[in-house]
A = this chain, B = another copy of it.
Amino acid sequence: MTEKKEKILQAALELFAQEGFKSTSTSKVAKRAGVSEGLIFRHFENKEGLLAAIIQEGEERAKMLFANIVLETEPMEVVRKTFEIAQMMRISKEAADFWKLQYKIKWELEQYGEHKMEPLQRALTDAFAKLGYESPHLEAQLLLISLDGLATRFYLQDDFDIDPVIKLLKSKYGI
């Protein structure tokens, strides 16, 4: 991977996350990456190829992130670590951009990337089962759904104070 290819991916991630896929022109990407427009097409074939590359990079990162949880056997730890991930999006700008892009793309392209979350959901189902919850599968779903809602607010509501809400939600799971 050449340096310029990296630059393009980086610029595209930022712009797609900020302004959306459709609204970001390839020329804007090229300009921000400090690269000729043509190069984008040499490397990624077309605009959708660029998006695909970004998303794929993300899938892999997500997999690594989840690996840590999936291998955990202590059920309470699984739940705790799930929250940890949710809190991660506030750390680095790049991580934030990346997750924001995931949500944005979901809405723009109308395809929910369930498969990406499946390992996590299975781990949670398992944990809730061990903890004696009545409908562990539904509980796992509900938790992830609530975290989705949380992310939505976090990204879209400027003055949203996420910490107390996370704390409250955690308390409901005894954390």
Show the binding face of A for B, using Cβ within 8 Å: 20, 22-23, 103-104, 106-108, 110-112, 114, 135, 138-139, 141-142, 144-150, 152-153, 156-158, 160, 164-165, 168-169, 172
Contact = CB atoms under 8 A, between A and B. Distances in A.
29 contacts: A20-B22, A20-B107, A20-B108, A22-B22, A22-B23, A103-B107, A106-B152, A107-B156, A111-B156, A112-B156, A112-B157, A112-B158, A112-B160, A114-B157, A135-B164, A135-B168, A138-B165, A138-B168, A142-B165, A145-B146, A145-B150, A145-B152, A145-B153, A145-B165, A147-B149, A148-B148, A148-B149, A149-B149, A152-B152
A103 B152 CA distance: 10
Given A103-B107, A108-B20, A139 B156 contact: no
A114 B157 CA distance: 8
